[in-house]
Amino acid sequence: MSGSYRAKIAAVLRKGSELMKEANKGDWVQIFKIVLQPNDRAPGLPAETAAVPLTMKVKGFLKNNSARLGDAVMIETITGRVTEGEMIAVNPVYDINYGAPQQDLLQVGIEARLALKGGKNSQ
Amino acid sequence: MTGKNDVSYNSVMSRKNEIMKQAVGLDYDQFEETGLAFDYEAMMAKAGYSLDEVIDIQFETCVGRTPLVEMKNISALARLSAQPGKGARIFIKDEACNPSGSFKARRAAVSCYQAQKYGYKGVIAATSGNYGAAVASQAAMRGLKCIIVQELFDSRGLCQPEIMEKGRACEAYGAEVVQLSVGPELFYQFLVLLEETGYFNASLYTPFGIAGIETLGFEVAEQVRATAKRDPAAVLITHAGGGNVTGTARGLIKAGCDSTAVIGASVDLSGLHMASDRDFNRKSFTTGHTGFGVPFTTWPDRVDVPRNAARPLRYLDRYVTVTQGEVFYMTELLAQLEGLERGPAGNTSLAAAFAIAREYNRDEIIVVQETEYTGAGKHPAPQLTFARSQGITVRRGDPLDNKPGETIVVPQSHDQIAVQEVELSGLKRSYLKRAKMEKDKSGSDLAPLEKDYLAAEIRGTVNEVEKYFQEGQ
């Protein structure tokens, strides 16, 4: 039940962002841009880092009259900076949560309380 | 500000010193002596603030004066595995009570005060940690604009949940968050933004930032004395960039705690490369770990200001590591035995304290000098959920079986919690090795002033320095 509930919520969130493929002037959006191509990166990086570009994401208010995901757009950030990049999200969701309960931690409190009561010293 | 400059990587990096000078409003040249040497204490005295000034500055924005709480149940649990008569009283400084939820508010308070005093319109900080929210919160109180630059995601776009939460917190305080993929060139983008905006560099490593932490050490001393009429036997400090160790130790010294041991503790992430796009999401701690703790100890000047005010080798009496699994275990105990949901990363020194308490007598006091707030993504459950999704094995067992990037072992029982010593003598040799490398580049011999400086840096003698430079060991 909880699994299907989680899936449902995830689907709603996904759908929410998928639906928002278009944005109008003033909408809160996120842009993506390549800061340094692999060739321009600093020397001495591990191979797996050196092989990929350094990229950046910034959020701000859309300055274009309208745009679709993937469009090159201008935004004004919350500090008033104007910058440009590829629009990758409209009203981006904070994709963080409290995760799944951890079986490996669930016994820790029980064991510690038992130990303090003199039940088990080392379990 | 200038706007029209060439922003190619090489061009920006070549303007590094000029950009930083503008952005910190401090001429570091005045403290340079000769070659490697600079006058550290003069920098701290002249460019920092006195303890009384810092207390006043922090009072203005509700920073500091956090509670010191005795961990009665955790101390009792530690005693179960201690020799008779052993098992110190463990106290924790609940730094999560600061605005923005961590001790970093202390640093940010002074940085933002400085920025406002010198007329900067805004502040920028390069940080993926709690310092971002701290700067954003303090900037909000002082009406300054704020930009936080963080390293957040790998080349697949996959974000560290802990850093995502920290970014969210920054945005909650009205900051702009610039998010980057993995790589040390974050510093380049940071310089670009400093130049573009003319904002203040609220670096973690300025003399005023470090002065901000001195109040923490001072408060610990005062609170322990008020509670127990004695000095703390040891203060345990989660160690990453070195500011926490340096500032706290300086505060303890100012309070006259001459016999208090300063013990740094980091999460062991050995084997994981901090600049690796692959390793980035294979760790469950994004701060307080050896990936920062060791390199910043052995060469502090690898930072975003010309001279780092955080110089941990000058202050550490001992440096230990604990495992990721042990810190998650302690985080659970802190919540379930003491009723404080805090951390996890800030609980690194608590895990170390649990082990080290066994070495001290029952009437002695050891202090864990910080806690940090907990949030979505920044909590054992989401961090372990994420670790599993990256193929990391999580299980109960012997902490010695932890392998960073592969296995997180949650201790089977409390008596398995232990610290691993990092030999300071080894770190001092690494420091001297790096110093020798720098010196060899210049081709000149060590000047007497440089010998004195290096001896102070490693808390050693001129003889040790000379011996290393002659024999390479």
Q: What average pLDDT does range B235-254 have in this prediction?
A: 97
Q: Render pLDDT for A24-83 as a digit per residue (tens, 0 to 9).
A: 999 999 999 999 999 999 999 999 999 999 999 999 999 999 999 999 999 999 999 999
Searching chain A, which residue's CA lies closest to the CA of residue B165? A96
Taking the CA atoms of B261, B267, B268 and B270 in sequence, report the sign of the dihedral they define. Answer: negative
Which token pair is A62? 């859309």
Choosing among A96, A111, A122, which should be mutated to test the B contact, i.e. which has the most B CBs within 10 A?
A96
CB–CB of B381 and A98 under 8 A? yes
Return the CATH number of the domain spanning residue range A21-94: 2.30.30
What pLDDT is stored for residue B286 in this prediction? Answer: 93
- Average confidence (pLDDT) over B305-327: 97
Query: ipTM value of the model?
Result: 0.93
Give contacts of A55 with chain B, Cβ < 8 Å.
Answer: 155, 180-181
Domains of chain B with CATH codes: 63-100+210-421 (3.40.50.1100)
Q: Judge whether B273 is closer than 8 Å to chain A, CB to CB.
A: yes
For B31-75, how does the pLDDT look when each residue is reduced to its tens digit (9 = 90+)? 999 999 999 999 999 888 999 999 999 999 999 999 999 999 999
CB atoms within 10 A of CB B327: 32
pLDDT tier at A119 (50, 70, 90 boundaries)?
low
Would you say residue A88 has pLDDT above 90?
A: yes
> Cα–Cα distance between A22 and B63 in angstroms, integer?
43
Taking an 8 Å cut-off on Cβ atoms, the answer to whether B159 and A109 are in contact is: no
- Supply B314's token pair: 């000058």
Contacts of A35 in chain B (CB under 8 A): 180, 185, 188-189
Q: Tell me the mean pLDDT in the region B206-220.
A: 97
Query: pTM of this prediction?
Result: 0.94
- CA-CA distances (angstroms) from residue A102 to B73, B323, B376, B380, B445? 23, 18, 15, 8, 58
Q: What is the pLDDT of residues B153-204, one digit of tens each?
A: 999 999 999 999 999 999 999 999 999 999 999 999 999 999 999 999 999 9
Buried b (16+ CB within 10 A) or exposed e, B150-179: bbbbbbeeebbbbbbbbbbbbbebebbbbb
Instruction: Give how far A79 is from chain B: nearest CA, Å.
Output: 6
B155: which chain A residues are within 8 Å (Cβ-Cβ)? 52-53, 55
Q: How is chain A split into domains, by residue range?
A: 21-94
Dihedral (C-alpha) A68, A31, B168, A50: value to the nearest 10 degrees?
A: 140
Identify the band that residue A122 occupies on the pLDDT scale cut at 50, 70 and 90. very low
Whole-angstrom distance, CA of residue A109 vs CA of residue B321:
23
Closest partner residue to B413 (CB to CB) among A55, A59, A122 is: A122
pLDDT at B421 over 90: yes
> How much is the mean pLDDT over chain A?
89
